[in-house]
Amino acid sequence: FRPDEVTVVFVLGGPGAGKGTQCERLKQDFDFVHLSAGDLLREEQTREGSKYGEMIKHYIKEGLIVPMEVTIALLEQAMREAIAKGNKRRFLIDGFPRKMDQALKFEETVVASQVVLYFECPETVMLERLLKRGESSGRSDDNMESIKKRFRVFKETSFPVIEAYEKQNKVKTVSCVKPVDEVYHEVKLVFDEMFK
């Protein structure tokens, strides 16, 4: 993709911070397609005939990061489909990249991101949200054991991606602790400035 034709915003933050929730709001007010890397992986996991199903299932349950070739291919395909279908060219990429090599690879082979939206949230708050969601989500990783692993991978592997983008002055940080509407108010201010 040519950077002058496609806009990509990486939406990052710890497990349960509220990335998906805020992206759903953003896409209603701004002309963006929301692509959650985790949702795409979960879809691929259950797709009949997928050769990655079992592998993805294991990685998600263990809170591990799926090899990037799989995730990047799913993201790129979803972007192509969105462009072909509705001529949409702005993307919120939610929950990706989770590792520095993924960031570099995506920016080199797909397109560079314009800005990184980082949802800051303390672990205690995220834990409470995930356990509550786990009562009904059916997600294999919304249990105490998996959540602890997800937190560890976020701290050790994914947070350094945000720090690296911070050095490039590409990060907009929004606290995700308050109620959804209040968080969204902050997020909207950031987007109004950049994309309206």
**CA pair distance 44, 23, nearest whole angstrom:** 21
Q: Is the preceding omega at residue 15 within 30 degrees of 0, hence cis?
A: no
13 binding ligand UP5? (CB under 6 A): yes
- Alpha-carbon dihedral angle through residues 74, 121, 192, 77, given to the nearest 10 degrees: 0
C-beta closer to ligand UP5: residue 1 or 20: 20
Residue 138 identity (one-letter amino acid): G
What length is written for the chain? 196
The one among 8, 79, 98, 118 contacting ligand UP5 by CB under 6 A: 98
Helix, strand or coil for residue 93? strand
Please answer whether residues 35 and 79 qualify as being in contact, where contact means their C-beta atoms are separated by less than 8 angstroms: yes
37 binding ligand UP5? (CB under 6 A): yes
34 binding ligand UP5? (CB under 6 A): no
> With CB cut-offs between 5 and 8 Å by kind, which of ligand UP5, Mg ion, none does residue 93 bind?
none
Stretch that binds ligand UP5, among 9-17, 84-92, 167-175, 185-193 (CB under 6 A): 9-17
Binding site for ligand UP5 (CB under 6 A): 13, 15-21, 36-38, 41, 59-60, 63-66, 71, 95-96, 98, 129, 133, 141, 150, 176, 179-180, 183
